[in-house]
Structure 1
Amino acid sequence: MAKSANVSNAASSTLYLTELDVTRLEGIASRAGTAELDEMLDALLARAAIVPPDAIPRDVVTMNSRIVCALEGEAAPRDWTLVYPDDADLAAGRLSVLSPVGQALLGTRAGQTVNYRLPDGRAQSVTVIEIAFQPEASGQFTL
């Protein structure tokens, strides 16, 4: 799991999370009961602006957003939906928010590049090219 994600586009560095996403992530952390997950959530919350779902900017990656990303060193972009761990299926394009890249992407804005660490310690970066679907922008505040 990534210890932190660094946003390299400082002009848009506010990390936005919806109140519902935070509540659900806290629930996952309390059920898991692992120090690593608690630490990840604490680090995420420490740098986040938590807002009601209807106040989240439309260009922010939220839970269940479908995004098009460019991974450093790969020619073809990836099309992922950011999901909770129980719904993750990378082969189907459903990326867990608890994966290193998932943690880095949550709250990121379209056009931003974020850095994260792979489980083996190597640095990697990903750029959000487009947010193809954001539940809150579509009026789906409980998805």
Structure 2
Amino acid sequence: MQQKTRATRKPHIVVTKSDHRILLGLANAVSHHDEDIAEALIDELERAKIVADTRISANIVRLGSIVDYHAEGATRTVTLVLPVDADISKGRVSILTPIGTALLGLSPSQSMEWTARDGRIHRLTVKDVRQVESVSPSP
């Protein structure tokens, strides 16, 4: 007997123009040594709705967001960052990790499946998103 599997539809996501530009450049830069994660990030960027930085809601996950999410029976809090700022001991998750890519563009109550580097599929649900004021000057 053949088992039917239901494909999970990915939720709609929103990304700012500046994050889109930065992340597309980052994905292209790392594609030669980590093709899978670069491809996953590019896939998310291609399906995202792109909005002006001033037009994005404060409850959308973007670079620098503090995110409370629920997965595997526990709620965790992380900050989504560029790889150079990643530090798991401080809850700073790189956008170039499977979970970082999965969080991008989500808002509270949205769920997303992601595949860990060991091949296991996980599901997370965003509970809350907060933005931190940037302390570094814009380029």
Letter in 2 for 1:40: A
Instruction: Tell me which moved more, 32-41 or 64-73.
Output: 32-41
Residue in 2 aligned with 1:101?
99
1:127-138 matches, within 5 Å, as 127-133=125-131
2:88 and 2:9 mapped to 1: Cα distance? Answer: 23
Aligned to 1:117: 115
State the alpha-carbon separation in 2 of the partners of residues 33 and 101 from structure 1. Answer: 18
Aligned equivalent of 2:60: 60
Corresponding position of 1:83? 81
Whole-Å Cα distance in 2 between the matches of residues 37 and 119 of structure 1?
Answer: 9
Q: Structure 2 CA distance, aligned partners of 1:124 and 1:89?
A: 21
- Residue 20 of structure 2 aligns to a residue in which SS? helix
Percent of pairs with identical residues: 33
Superposition misfits of 4+ residues, deviation over 6 angstroms: none
Q: Deviations over 1:48-103 (max 9, x none)?
A: 111111111222111100011111233xx211100011110011010011111111
3-state SS of the aligned residue for 1:116? strand
Computing the radius of gyration from Cα coordinates, the structure with the larger value is 2
Task: Work out the CA distance in 2 between the residues paired with 1:114 and 1:62.
Answer: 15
Distance 1:47 1:29 in 2: 15
Where in structure 2 are there 5+ consecutive unaligned residues?
1-7
Q: Which has the higher contact order (CA 8 A, sep 6+)?
A: 1
TM-score normalised by structure 1 residue count: 0.78
**In the alignment, which residue of structure 2 is the partner of 1:14?**
12
Structure-2 residue corresponding to 1:10: none
Structure 1 gap segments, 5+ residues each:
8-12
Count, aligned residues: 129
